[in-house]
Amino acid sequence: MANESATPLLEVENLAVEFDTPAGPLRAVRGVSFEVGECETLAIVGESGSGKSVTAQALMGLVPQAARIAGGRVSIEGRDVAGLSDREWQALRGERISMIFQDPLSALNPSLTVGYQIGEMFRRHRGAGRAEARRRAAELMALVGIPDAERRLDDHPHRFSGGMRQRVMIAMALALDPRLLIADEPTTALDVTVQAQILRLLRQRQRAERLGMILISHDLGVVARAADRVAVMYAGRIVETGTVAEVYERPAHPYTLGLMRAVPDPRDIGAPLEAIEGRPPDLAARPAGCAFHPRCPFARDVCLTDDPAPHEFHAARASACHFAEEVIAHGGN
């Protein structure tokens, strides 16, 4: 759970990310604010195109070529990262903030052994020699649950299963003892029993090292299992935040409520699913007012014209809906 007293490891304020397109700049992320504390997991949940992955990339200073941070502030351990040079970013990445991805194979070099790639973290950042790097790589591999670590140092990535590759990625991400880990759909490509292993491993490492974690996911079940707090994203903005228990029990945004009702309810088997009609807007043709209004059963005139800013309606609970209280009352059970 969040450590209330400490300065947050990560503070994001009013973040905006824009893509350059032939038709002009396209705002993929707007007005995004959140904090992550030590030993805490914040999940950012949303469907494809919601802006969750772009947000994660922005935190790492890794926005795609055609994109740029168009506004807002990101502070890592109290340090504003705006205007950091490439060299400063390289010192930050891995050392203070790390990231793992859905597909470890695309992040690992297929022609180098796993031991070499993990060891490289120590050679490059810590000036370790070959033998030292190799020894520490083996230690890390054992720590993340790769059986027979010593022997597997000399294997190439393709010799590992998907789950084992994700463990290799986690080992590399944690090699330099960062304070923050961003996990972007870390288990989406994995089978459920392997997913459970990886989620457990992340939880164990988080507790042992008091990591702050951001879990990017489209899976409400994974979020329920792994996160302390959740931020729901829709069309580039956070529409609701709160503790997982609060948000899941009493959604305060119609989109969140819609997502919950679109998933089979484990406590009401066979109950008809309520689909959210339509689909998320094209960011180039973002509806006026609240971006969710064309799909929203609660929408009224004001929603067509006024884009509601996220407002806190009680401690650590915010919703970007004009009718948050009404939504809560509607979804309450």
Of 151, 200, 300, 311, the one binding another protein (CB under 8 A) is: 200
Task: Compute how many residues bind another protein; rule: CB under 8 A.
Answer: 46
- Segment 55 to 114, residues that bind another protein, using CB under 8 A: none
Q: How far is the CB of 279 from another protein (least distance, A)?
A: 6
**E strand map for the chain:** 10-21, 24-36, 41-45, 67-76, 79-80, 97-100, 180-184, 212-217, 229-234, 237-243, 311-314, 317-319
193: contact with another protein by CB under 8 A: yes
**CA 215: distance to chain centroid?**
4
Q: Which stretch binds another protein (CB under 8 A): 73-81, 102-110, 124-132, 254-262?
A: 254-262
Which CB atom, from 142 or from 260, has the smaller least distance to another protein? 260
Q: How far is the CB of 300 from another protein (least distance, A)?
A: 21
- C-alpha 136/C-alpha 221 separation (Å) is 35
300: contact with another protein by CB under 8 A: no
- In this structure, what token pair is assigned to residue 215? 């879990």
- Segment 173 to 192, residues that bind another protein, using CB under 8 A: 191-192
- C-alpha 123/C-alpha 119 separation (Å) is 6
Q: How far is the CB of 115 from another protein (least distance, A)?
A: 18
By CB atoms closer than 10 A (0-12, 13-18, 19+), residue 95 is middle
148: contact with another protein by CB under 8 A: no
- C-alpha 238/C-alpha 292 separation (Å) is 12
275: contact with another protein by CB under 8 A: yes
Q: Which stretch binds another protein (CB under 8 A): 23-31, 76-84, 196-204, 304-312?
A: 196-204
278 φ/ψ sector (left φ>0, alpha ψ -120 to 50, else beta): left
236: contact with another protein by CB under 8 A: no
Of 6, 208, 245, 302, the one binding another protein (CB under 8 A) is: 245
Q: Which stretch binds another protein (CB under 8 A): 54-62, 95-103, 104-112, 197-205?
A: 197-205
Beta-bridged to residue 175, according to DSSP, are none
Q: Which of 44, 42, 36 is nearest to 217 (CA)?
A: 44
List of residues contacting another protein (CB under 8 A): 47-48, 147, 159, 161, 163-164, 191-197, 200, 203, 218-222, 224-225, 244-245, 248, 258-267, 269-270, 272-277, 279-280
